[in-house]
Structure 1
Amino acid sequence: MATPPPARPCPQYARSQAHFWHLACQIRCAIKNSYIFFQYVWRSDPPNTRTFYSNSRRIEVVTMAASKSKALRASLVFHRFGLGAKPGGLARIADDPAAALVAELATPGVALINDPSLPSYAAACFEGAQPSPRPDAVRVVEVRARIKKHLQPEIGFAERLTLFWSNHFAMSFRKAPLLRATIGQFERDVIRPNVLGTFPQMLKQVMRHPGMIRFLDNDMSIGEESAFGLKRRVSYTENLAREMLELHTVGSGNYGESDVKALAKMLTGWSVVLKKEETPSNAGQFFYRAEWHQPGPQPFFGVTIPEGDMEQADKAFDLMSSHPATARRIATKLVRHFVTDDPSDDLVNPLVQTFLDTGGDLKQVTETLIGLERAWTAPASKYRTPYELMIAQFRALGTSLLPDEEGLLDRILVGLNQPFWDPPSPEGFSDDTADWLSPSSVAFRLDAVQQISKIIGRRKTVDPATLARGLYGGAMSRQTFERVAAGGSQLAGLTILFASPEFQRR
């Protein structure tokens, strides 16, 4: 991972530099050794359970028995499962944090962005087929809509699921103009409607999106023995097939080269509308070319899939979706994203079983996760990714950047190696804490939260101590709260708050 430039000290913060760098050391130490305050409090009370029902399905959510733990439980809901607390949020869910978490999942359309001003599938594809700067202009609009949506829900659990699944099926907008215009629409119309749906359905919709077809080079994949291939002596590409197996489904060690080749042949003809074929109504869209499709049955995972058109690949998708290795890979990634960098069997196995028992019902898999005792009692060992950190700060301050300030956010995320929709590879951005931790990145993170606090502070008066108490209550250590209160200025207090272990970690 590229090393970001060192942070530049801010003159206004000079009087609190000792606090600033002391907190930087605290954050770094907290990554290597679980932060003692959270370990002690989260483990001090015996767990209890609450029972909820979702579509007549019984869900047991582990809670903490003592009333003094209410703020801790509410804080855990916001920071482990959500995108961070908003002003007043702690008080609004404090009576029953677990119920609030379950209720958000049960809200109809909770993950959807319903904004008629955003481009439809056809409109986004059309813009992607146009010369620059039109595709980039669409991407900017999509980024704004995404951040606006992040700020709306009380908890943001469905938003976290959206980020998880968007990263699971990662694409980079830099690959082609088509991706610049459609990557936001892909997340809105393919990922968001399916985060609480089924994995097989999501997988099929992802693979029918022109962005994924173009990103993984399947748009010119032609069967050698197809009608077109026999005339032109061209061949198929394996990129999409290989990444589907390696990253999206069964994972390394659970498939062979013969499976890659068979899947690649079944995906021949899955393409996009070519430039010479474009009309205003079809430009850039997914298009299946039967004359490019490799004929004949294909041996795949020990099963012979009969000859067919698009349904041949769909049958392969079903085999991958129902494979135990896919269930384990998805379960492990979910636990790593939400709970710990070292997923253990007692956390992973229940999710695997639910995935297999329900045919990949992602809502039930998610409900199984929040029903696990260790999902609620594990120490806060995860480090917020740079993007999550910025969103949590916006939510805490109750506002985002104005359009003329958005360049700062772009620069921050580029400097912290997590630019919008631009992962370093098809594997997506890392979910391992260690990959976001280096001496320079810690300093850069602290400078970033300071810059955001400074810009928003110019137009909004915030008392840092009051905000800290409202966001965390008793879940914030007295040491951190006293440092925030003693900051000496709004900027210093906010910077100490957002640089604290409680805010940086989840």
Structure 2
Amino acid sequence: MSASKATAANRFGLGARPGELERSGDDGREILLAQLRRPPALDAFAGLPGSVETLRLEFRQQQLSRAARAQRGAVAAPMADPAAPATMAAADEPLPRTRRRARAADPGDAARERPPAGRDDGDPADQLRRELRRRQLAEFAARYRHAADTDAPFVERLSQFWSNHFAVSIDKGNARLYAGSMEREAIRPHVLGRFQDMLLAVERHPAMLRYLDNAASIGDDSRVAMRAQRLGREKRGLNENLAREILELHTLGVDGGYRQEDVIELARAITGWSTPGPRDAAAAQSFVFRANAHEPGARRVLGRSYAEGGQEQGRAVLADLARHPATARHLSFKLARHFVADQPPPALVERMAQAYLREDGDLRALYRALLESEQAWTADARKFKTPNDFVISALRAGELPVGDQARALVGLLASLGQPVFTPRSPAGFPDTAADWSSPDGLFKRIQAAQMFAARVDSGDITPYQRALAVLGSQAVSGDFAIGLRRAGSASDGCSLLFASPAFQWRV
């Protein structure tokens, strides 16, 4: 059975660009499968700094800030820089189990920040701070420029799906600079590979280690803890945040059969997994294993024993979690929910889970099982676009350039309720219609549709023709088609297109 090209572009991709459906092959399913056979070009990300370089620049900025405070006669023990990394000597408090609502951080506001009154605009620390924020905006601009221009939109949807699955928030100061680089360094290289490799890369990335406080986690019987006890210092200890979210969110799922004892044992297994500090300025990687902070001894997770082995102990646990049947079901359900329906068919989820297990966590096999199922292509399968997906599809449909700066997009996504890399909790942004289709949310989308429409260069294509080109003829009919033809101006017609139910839903 030949699958619709329009369905392939809109349900599984990022929305079509004018001319895209005409240039592609006849079978939508084969178009998507072909994208899985070749890594996408990532030219938009060329030249962006890696996490190691950002860490060094961040440490230098903090060093200059401390020196400037001392020179101005600052107090002997100033408050900690909220963007400073957690250290092995100062473990953060555990996250509360009640998910807190994150402030909608707007990096664009930060980039527009002016030096405080009385401070020299040429202060080296302030210059570095602004440079770090400029780089953050450049990362965001590259992300949306790539999404708007890519010829592999299905793979990009997958990359952003996994980025949200392994959610970190720039609302937490010490992770602020690394959310974008985590997507680029830990997710994109593995999106067509094995889940086990992606899982390990993510859990060892500075963004995740800082966001969930593992950089400050210390084994209770580690050498660091024992030394603190001998010296009579406050004994910092185990932090369970990352271990809990690995089990609950990243692998098994909340109903995956783990217990609190498994959380504690996994937390012990990954003690010492940290990030370079100021004394590690020469580090060539963004991950360091601090053996002195590692909890010694064997661990037992989900009934399986893991011998003492330093950082290899944690790696072994993650490898087994990646192969667990509960992980296969959890990942399959989330993917099917993301692409097909808020309540995906159980048979589809099971088919995907079996493919994942059969191919040892090969993600291409998981994606193929999704695409090759007729249940993924039925006419009644539909998903309401998240604000992020709505914005990207409007950029593509309107052929709108992103440019080198993303301030306007950052502000727009914040106003629509999905600020860039700022989910409300480690669970990521929600993925169902009920979360995004409120009256206020729809009103703001209408306003955004008008803004996008005003920027469209219509050229020789009418709004009706544009709608046909990006949605397909089946979606453009009846009153919708009449309204597009009778629009008083090209801008009015494009506003109608972008605000229409046909554009808001993935069908």
Unaligned runs of 5+ in 1: 1-47, 49-62, 65-72
Change (3 A) 1:291 1:356: same
Q: Residue in 2 aligned with 1:165? A: 162
1:127 corresponds to 2:57: yes
Map of 2:33 onto structure 1: 102
Corresponding residue for 1:477? Answer: 476
Contact persistence 2:265–2:299 (CA under 8 A):
yes
For residues 287-335 of structure 1, the C-alpha deviation after alignment (integer angstroms, 9 at most, x for no partner) is 1110111001111110111111000001110121111111000000000
Partner in structure 1 of residue 82 of structure 2: none
Q: Could you give the per-residue CA deviations for residues 93-123 of structure 1, whole angstroms, max 9, x where no partner exists?
A: 252322222111112x216457441112322
Maintained 8 Å contact 1:128/1:284: no
**Does the 8 A contact of 1:339 with 1:378 survive in 2?**
no
Contact 2:137 2:407 in 1 (8 A): no
SS in 2 for 1:430: coil
Distance in 2, Cα, partners of 1:451 & 1:116: 30
Provide the residue aligned with 1:262 in structure 2.
265
Inter-CA distance 111–209: structure 2 relative to 1 (3 Å threshold): farther
Q: Which of 239, 242, 246 in structure 2 is aligned with 1:240? A: 242
Label 1:91 to 1:461 Cα distance change in 2 as closer, same or farther (>3 A). Answer: closer
Cα distance, 1:471 vs. partner?
1.9
Would you say how many aligned residue pairs link Structure 1 and Structure 2?
A: 431
Q: Distance in 1 between matches of 2:44 and 2:445?
A: 33
Residue 200 of structure 2 corresponds to 204
Question: What secondary structure is seen at the aligned counterpart in 1 of 2:305?
Answer: strand
TM-score by length of 1: 0.81
The alpha-carbon deviation at position 402 of structure 1 amounts to 4.2
How far 1:241 sits from its partner (Å)? 0.4
Q: What CA distance in whole angstroms lies between the structure 1 residues aligned with 2:44 and 2:414?
A: 29
The alpha carbon displacement at 1:437 in A equals 1.2
1:158 alignment partner AA = V
Find the residue that maps to 2:321 and give its secondary structure: helix
1:501 matched to 2:501? The reply is yes
Residue by residue over 1:462-490, the C-alpha shift from the partner in whole angstroms, topping out at 9 and shown as x without a partner, is: 52122112223422232212111111111
Query: In the superposition, relative to structure 1, how do residues 246 and 199 fare at CA in structure 2: closer, same or farther (>3 Å)?
Result: same
Q: Corresponding residue for 1:221? A: 217
Q: For 1:283 and 1:138, locate their aligned partners in 2 and report how far apart those are by CA, in whole Å.
A: 20
Alignment CA distance shift 1:134-1:175 (3 Å): farther
- CA change 1:114–1:146 in 2 (3 A) is closer
| 8 A contact 1:125–1:284 mirrored in 2 | no
Which of structure 1's runs of 4+ aligned residues deviate more than 3 A? 111-116, 127-131, 281-284, 401-404, 459-462
**Partner SS, residue 203 of structure 1:** helix
Match of 1:18 in 2: none
Aligned partner of 2:16 among 61, 85, 89: 85
Return the alpha-carbon distance in structure 1 between the equivalents of residues 41 and 338 of structure 2. 18
The equivalent of 2:48 in structure 1 is 118
**Which residue matches 1:148?**
145
Higher helix content, 1 or 2: 1
C-alpha distance in 1 between matches for 2:15 and 2:419: 20
For residues 493 and 106 of structure 1, the distance between their equivalents in structure 2, rounded to whole angstroms, comes to: 38
Determine the C-alpha separation between the residues in 2 that align with 1:89 and 1:475. Answer: 16
Contact kept, 8 Å, 2:468 with 2:476, in 1: the verdict is no
Distance 1:473 1:258 in 2: 53
Q: Deviations over 1:20-78 (max 9, x none)?
A: xxxxxxxxxxxxxxxxxxxxxxxxxxxx2xxxxxxxxxxxxxx35xxxxxxxx111000
Rounded Cα–Cα distance in structure 2 between residues aligned with 1:318 and 1:174:
30
Q: 1:263 Cα shift?
A: 0.4
Instruction: Spell out, residue by residue over 1:405-456, the C-alpha distance to the aligned partner (whole angstroms, 9 max, x if none).
Output: x433222211111111111111000111110011111111111111121134
The 1-side partners of 2:274 and 2:227 are apart by 19
Does residue 74 in structure 1 map to residue 5 in structure 2?
yes
Q: Name 1:314's counterpart in structure 2.
A: 315
- Note if contact 2:45-2:139 (Cα within 8 Å) is conserved in structure 1: no
Instruction: Please tell me whether the aligned partners of residues 215 and 275 of structure 2 are also in contact (alpha carbons under 8 angstroms).
Output: yes
State the distance in 2 between where 1:242 and 1:341 align.
25
Change (3 A) 1:349 1:182: same
Are the aligned partners of 1:75 and 1:472 in contact in 2 as well (CA < 8 Å)? yes
Q: Does the CA-based 8 Å contact 2:416-2:445 persist in structure 1?
A: yes
| Aligned AA (1:434) | A
- Asked if the contact 2:269/2:294 (under 8 Å) is kept, the reply is yes
Instruction: Give a deviation string over 1:318-368, Cα, whole Å, max 9, x none.
Output: 121111111000000000000000022111001110111111100110011
1:273 to 271, 276, 280: 276
Corresponding residue for residue 97 of structure 2: none
Structure 2 matches for 1:3-402, cutoff 5 A? 48=1, 63=2, 73-93=4-24, 95-107=26-38, 109-110=39-40, 112-113=42-43, 115-129=45-59, 130=61, 132-177=129-174, 179-232=175-228, 233-253=235-255, 254-275=257-278, 277-279=279-281, 281-282=282-283, 285-402=286-403
Once the two structures are TM-superposed, the CA of residue 174 in structure 1 deviates from its matched residue by 2.3
CA RMSD of the aligned region, Å? Answer: 1.9
**What letter corresponds to residue 388 of structure 2 in structure 1?**
Y
Identity level (%): 38
* In structure 2, distance between residues paired with 1:114 and 1:500: 30
Cα separation, partners in 2 of 1:460 and 1:415, compared to 1, 3 Å: farther
The one-letter amino acid paired with 1:298 is R
Instruction: Return the letter of the residue paired with 1:437.
Output: S
> CA–CA distance in 1 between the matches of 2:42 and 2:198?
15
Whole-Å Cα distance in 1 between the matches of residues 41 and 370 of structure 2?
18
* TM-score, scaled to structure 2: 0.81
Q: 1:284 to 1:322 in 2, by over 3 A?
A: closer
| Contact map agreement 1:222 1:269 (CA 8 A) in 2 | yes
